[in-house]
Chain A
Amino acid sequence: AQTVTQSQPEMSVQEAETVTLSCTYDTSESDYYLFWYKQPPSRQMILVIRQEAYKQQNATENRFSVNFQKAAKSFSLKISDSQLGDAAMYFCAYRSWGTASKLTFGTGTRLQVTL
């Protein structure tokens, strides 16, 4: 079974600064997908960014980028130019390649953004 570990329960960043959230995972599979989901106080689960394991290039979405290290099984999220609206719970998630495969989540990192 796959496991996802987020070792930072809470992080804080000043507005306009950059922060990196860590995620490691354990799997014996070679093909899979990794995601970062954001959960604001409304508790809606919002997809932030995704990475296909077969792609060497790190994914980017505007101010959000990842550092995907397949050999190290590491998948960190970098948020640049942090904004107050980025304050939320961030979950790293793993999904196997295959039909109807589920998401496995990490325990989450609560991000605070300060003025």
Chain B
Amino acid sequence: AAGVIQSPRHLIKEKRETATLKCYPIPRHDTVYWYQQGPGQDPQFLISFYEKMQSDKGSIPDRFSAQQFSDYHSELNMSSLELGDSALYFCASSLAVQTETNTEAFFGQGTRLTVV
């Protein structure tokens, strides 16, 4: 079965550079979520999109922006990178409307961003 695809898997950037992370949800999933997981921490919610509109916003820095495109893939743009942005960035997808057999979000393998 198709899963959530994230690219790239690994990314090394220098301070003050820009990074773009991509997420391709499971086919027919209309909702995408972005999470940031620092070393030894739990995933922190950044932002989500439903039907190409922002549906919720968490602790996302102003230096970050994201969008969902017409094919439902999403991109997280990160500018003026700081050392503290080094983390694992997860994308998850789901169907927005939860049913008896559809309640969970499925996660991609993550993009490991290292800022040096």
Interface residues of A (CB under 8 A from B): 33, 35, 37, 42-47, 50, 52, 91, 95, 97-108
Contacts and interface: CB of A to CB of B under 8 A. Distances in A.
A41 to B, nearest CB: 12
B104 A47 contact: yes
Interface stretch (B14-22, B77-85, B95-103): B95-103
Contacts of B96: 99-100
Contact of B55 (A91, A100, A108): A100
Contacts of B31: 100
B107 interface: yes
B45 A50 contact: no
Given A52-B103, A100-B56, A103-B105, A45 B43 contact: yes
9 contacts: A43-B109, A43-B110, A44-B109, A91-B42, A100-B31, A102-B58, A103-B43, A107-B41, A107-B42
Contacts of B45: 102-104
A1 B32 CA distance: 20
Interface in B5-50: 31, 33, 37, 41-43, 45, 48, 50
